[in-house]
Amino acid sequence: MLYLSGQNNDLQQFISDNDIEKITKASWKPMDELDINCPIMTEDELRCLIFGVYTVKLAASYTQEHMSSDGIYSIHGYVHNRSLLCLKFQSRHVSRKQYRSYIRFKEGSVDAWFCSCPVGARVLGTCAHVTSALWYLCFR
């Protein structure tokens, strides 16, 4: 854990280096249109990945809050790198603020994550946005 706490977020660097946040909508497709396989995780595996119990408990209600009225959780895959997913979350504190969460899969597991929220660049554990996405994609 001490080693991880001192590491940089490689996915954050990748997104910055490649201007991923500025890429047009045409490069992103709804996840169900792409062949993206998310790993299925147990609650214990999810807890180890996100590093904590609190955000796992929040995940179900947070996911419900971010679903549309017709039950759709908007997840998009990057057409040029199908292992990269992007989700947009409305801030709970500032009505005009949106955060983007990114999750990268590699060989059937979660490889990296990054969120544009104030605590989303951590590599030891995940923010509530990424936790919600992982809970929806890999556990529910």
What is the pLDDT confidence band of residue 60, given thresholds at 50, 70 and 90? confident
Tens digits of per-residue pLDDT, 66-114? 788 887 888 888 888 888 998 888 777 787 888 899 999 988 889 999 9
pLDDT at 110: 93
Using the predicted structure, report yes or no on whether residue 128 has a pLDDT greater than 50: yes
Angstrom distance (rounded) from CA 49 to CA 94: 28
Question: For the chain, what percentages of helix, strand and coil (3-state, to nearest 5) are there?
Answer: 40, 25, 40
Distances (CA, A) of 86 to 3, 56, 68, 100, 108: 27, 20, 16, 7, 17
Distance from the first to the final alpha carbon of the chain: 27
Q: Tell the residue number behind the tokens 């119990």, with chain if given.
A: 53
**Burial class of residue 121 (count of CB atoms within 10 Å of its CB; 0-12, 13-18, 19+):** middle
pLDDT of residue 10: 93
Residue type, 8: N
Give dist(CA 39, CA 111) in Å, integer.
11
